[in-house]
A and B are shown apart, each in its own frame.
Chain A
Amino acid sequence: ETGVTQTPRHLVMGMTNKKSLKCEQHLGHNAMYWYKQSAKKPLELMFVYSLEERVENNSVPSRFSPECPNSSHLFLHLHTLQPEDSALYLCASSQEWRTTSTDTQYFGPGTRLTVL
């Protein structure tokens, strides 16, 4: 496996379900990110982890709960979601958080989430 991987690739869940999204990066990076991409809207940063510590939480509802057990793995736990939460959820990683200007983020393939 290379780069950034995400599972599952597609997920359909009801509003009362609990599910988790998984992200793994094989790049030796120290920072990992969750983004939400809805139709016709810019990518929205949700959470940032740097060396397993959460450093950004962009006013995300508590029904989204991130977890970063180590610098290679990132989870997004979902519970009691709403239909408007249906979107593409993207994980990304970069070498560091808030360092060199040219430190770029690399994205995983995303999880297409549909909430019924």
Chain B
Amino acid sequence: QKEVEQNSGPLSVPEGAIASLNCTYSDRGSQSFFWYRQYSGKSPELIMFIYSNGDKEDGRFTAQLNKASQYVSLLIRDSQPSDSATYLCAVKSNTGKLIFGQGTTLQVKP
């Protein structure tokens, strides 16, 4: 079992729709959870982090965490073509290491 799992996609949504990106993790001791966006040929950039169960909203982005189910998700409302990228889920364990999933490619079609 991979430590952090994401569906590689591509996930295709029409412009204006909600994009839902999911991530599961295996280490129950994980402390905090990060979403990075990576455009093709670029480096990852942090979108947001979450460490408490529930939802955290930042503009059009909402991160959702369910530690009991070992599940974290990212919702993107009103998706724009500029949101087309690979979204990386990263999980910080209690050892401090950041473990990345392989990423989900999102395509937002005009």
A interface vs B, CB < 8 Å? 40-43, 45, 56, 88, 90, 97-99, 101-102, 104-110
Contacts and interface: CB of A to CB of B under 8 A. Distances in A.
B97 A56 contact: yes
Contacts of B98: 45, 105
Nearest to B30: A101
A109 B42 contact: yes
User: Which interface class (under 10, 10 to 19, 20 to 34, 35 or more) fits B?
Assistant: 20 to 34
Interface stretch (B10-18, B45-53, B76-84): B45-53
Given A56-B97, A97-B96, A98-B95, A104 B102 contact: no
Contacts of B25: none
A110 B97 CA distance: 20
A87 to B, nearest CB: 13
B43 A101 contact: no
Interface in B71-110: 88, 90, 92, 95-103
Interface string B31-44: 11010100000111
Contacts of B21: none
